[in-house]
């Protein structure tokens, strides 16, 4: 499973979701201080894209019906969603943000 650099650490504003397309899968990435997290970009409730949703504490709050998900575990913490978000491995390496995912990465937002 190849690794993919998606940008420099300084290109990510804290607590702002950015989406990347990976082999047909949309992944939301967020910087929390010096740590990075990656989850599915689709809300598990009704499947809307999470991009544009606020991040409060360690939770992303879906903009549509308000479901909250822990950004580290993907677990739902409130709202109508009952299922977790899928999480993806991500790390910082020499100032680069690296997703461990298959195939090509294209930034979508």
Q: Which residues would be at the binding site for ligand FES (CB under 6 A)?
A: 43, 45-46, 48, 62, 64-67, 79-81
Smallest distance from ligand FES to CB 76, Å: 9
Q: Which is nearer to ligand FES, 29 or 81 (CB)?
A: 81
Structure tokens at 85: 């978000």
Separation in Å, CA 85 to CA 38, 66, 80, 81: 10, 14, 13, 10
Q: Which is nearer to ligand FES, 39 or 97 (CB)?
A: 39
Nearest of 87, 7, 3 to residue 42 by alpha carbon: 87
Q: Which is nearer to ligand FES, 9 or 51 (CB)?
A: 51
């Amino acid at each position: 499973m190849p690794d993919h650099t998606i940008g420099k650490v300084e290109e990510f504003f804290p607590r702002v979701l950015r989406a990347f397309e990976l082999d047909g899968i949309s992944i939301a990435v967020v910087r929390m201080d010096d740590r990075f997290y990656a989850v599915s970009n689709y809300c598990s409730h009704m499947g809307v894209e999470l991009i544009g949703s606020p991040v409060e504490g360690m939770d992303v709050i879906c903009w549509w019906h308000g479901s909250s998900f822990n950004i580290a575990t993907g677990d739902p913490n409130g709202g109508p969603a009952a299922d977790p978000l899928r999480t993806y491995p991500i790390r910082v390496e020499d100032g680069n943000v690296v997703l461990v995912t298959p195939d090509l990465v294209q930034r979508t937002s």
